[in-house]
Structure 1
Amino acid sequence: MLLLGIQVDVWSAGVLFYQMLYGRRPFGHDQSQERILREDTIIKARKAEFPSKPTISNEAKDLIRRCLTYNQADRPDVLTIAQDPYLTYVKRILLALAVLLMASSFSPTSTIPRTNPTLQSNHSTNNVWNQRLNLVTRCESKESSSETNLPAKRTAKLGIGAPIVVIEAPKMIKTAATMPCLRVNTGLVKPGDVGRIVSRKPKDVWAVRLSIGTYLIDGKYFKPLELDE
């Protein structure tokens, strides 16, 4: 059978759905990957079999079965698959779950409530914005209360934990990760960006945590942020 065109993408989607739900390939699961890649290997892929465990919904099985239709002319197109009842239901669940996870991330000790995520999505969205506002307010309050311990404006020095402001956009930036990645600064770090120093590296290079992530930046590109009293 010649597999060409968009129908191949639909077939691939069916294979991925099957693997995500069952943790194995729909066809040739009893053969090693090395064996499958050999040219003389023939895999019977006319009809997908669904194990009894784990239990999945009939809607999910029907979606996979249609994606894995042997005759490519009988397979649905991508637009039809995107409107499948199972996928539209899953998208609603994932959206509600994402909102709940975002809300819980603002409070390390909070737990996700055991409620219907679809029914509570709007309520959770409001909680996200309320908690975000409270977080900003608390941060501003802590900054204000610690101002008396800061040195005078004109004597502020760079140090770990000190707030900084970017005064010149560096041409190159490097991510502060286990495997640093050097890249051209295409507007990611720009003058006026504020952050906080995480650590110091050799040759006046500092690890600075900005809103977009933590980067290794030369000290000549930023200065201590002078907070107003």
Structure 2
Amino acid sequence: MFRDLSQPIETGMPTYPGDPEVTLASDATHEADGYATSELRTGTHAGTHVDAPTHTVPDGEAIDERAVGRFAFDARLVDPRPLEPREAIAPDALPEPSDLDPNVDLLVLRTGWESHWGTERYRDHPYLTAAAAERCRAAGVGVGLDTFGPDLTPTAGGAAGSSATACDADSAATTDDEPGGTPSHDVLLGDSLPIVENLRGLDGLPHRFRIYAFPLRLRGADGSPVRAVAEWEN
């Protein structure tokens, strides 16, 4: 069986705070031109996408420098719920490296935050602690998430630029003890481990499955939107 795990790309879709807004507009029409084409303007980290190491590691690989086969993953689903807004996901929420099948190269974390896509609440997703990312590195596995990413995202009051289409009055506030920067990105991308962000449709997936997340061949880029697809035996 196959399932599309990708958020649709469309004008005004949610983007990480400060990232370029996305527009998808008609360029030529059948009525005026006899054919149809469209213009897409997007950042490299819009919607469901993969990060390249150079996203946070200055001398890391660009997206087109990675072999295409490295974007086909043997995945294991991890469900750490219930989770509160902006809750830290600690190492003990993840499998021990010794408990993982050696073929697994991606842990897909189902936080349930995809239900907040299109609202300010989506910014307040749970996040991986640096220690949890270190556990992934020890196991040689990357992560896929139904959130903006493995690190905290600034709240609406902390940064501008999100194109989320609705506000949520319950959006959590930033606290002084929250980690800043991109520590989990740095741990994973520093070891060239994959990160797939803004997944959807994780409910009902089996414990093990394949996931394909092939990026566009963008020369020297730090990431790329993907059409993420899960495959498993019925």
Higher helix share: 1
Higher strand share: 2
Give the structure-1-normalised TM-score. Answer: 0.21
Higher RCO (CA 8 Å, separation ≥ 6 residues): 2
Give the structure-2-normalised TM-score. Answer: 0.21
